[in-house]
Amino acid sequence: MVNGRFITLEGGEGGGKSTQLRALAAALGARGIEVVATREPGGSAGAEAIRALLMEGAEDRWDARAEALLFAAARADHVARTIRPAIARGAWVICDRFVDSSRAYQGGGGGLTDADILALHGVGSEGLLPDRTFLLGVSAGEAARRLSVRDAAGADRMGSKPADYQARLAARFAEMAAAEPERWRMIDADGPAEAVTAAILADLADWLP
């Protein structure tokens, strides 16, 4: 049986995480691997209920501390009900965002300390971390272009954050990736989606059957 794996996709807005989630799930499934494609906030009934609180409403609906608590609660349910059971049975879990997004958004973007966010994660999710995290990096110009397309359909609260906030996010993600190179992989996501998928699969080659 293939060993269970936990892979996350991270980065700021407009990086193509949802596109890569679908592409990776299809590619791995074609290799006979059971894949659980999920997202945060969400991924379980309880977490999806909290998602509505987090993603809807005005940009200033919650402050950073309230957001961190809501994300931690959603993540705890997601981990207990979806992620850990899937890994235990040998599935590969691919998640669009995880605790590193809280470290960037409520930490780098909102001003909370990394220790505070990781303490919440330790209580709620018993400190679970991914086996590998892919940081999908895009240039500011390309991110703005993609977000302008997405905004036509209506941006959520996180996509509506101002440009200076987005810059702090990018800096925080890069800082985390540099500090933990054994887990993080930096992927240039400016190019075609197919090229990004190929780069991620190449990095996972040693794990593939």
Q: In what order do the strands lie in the sheet with 35-39?
A: 35-39, 92-96, 5-10, 132-137, 184-188
Domain with residue 52: its CATH number is: 3.40.50.300
On whether residue 87 sits in a domain, the answer given is yes
- Please provide the average confidence, as pLDDT, over all residues in the chain: 90
175 touches 107 (CB < 8 A): no
pLDDT digits (tens, 9 = 90+) for 152-162: 555 555 555 66
pLDDT band (50, 70, 90) for residue 95: very high
Domain that holds residue 75: 5-204
On whether residue 141 sits in a domain, the answer given is yes
On whether residue 45 sits in a domain, the answer given is yes
82 touches 125 (CB < 8 A): no
| Mean predicted confidence (pLDDT) in 12-36 | 94
pLDDT digits (tens, 9 = 90+) for 46-92: 999 999 999 988 888 999 899 999 999 999 999 999 999 999 999 99
On whether residue 32 sits in a domain, the answer given is yes
Amino acid at 50: I
Domain count, the chain: 1
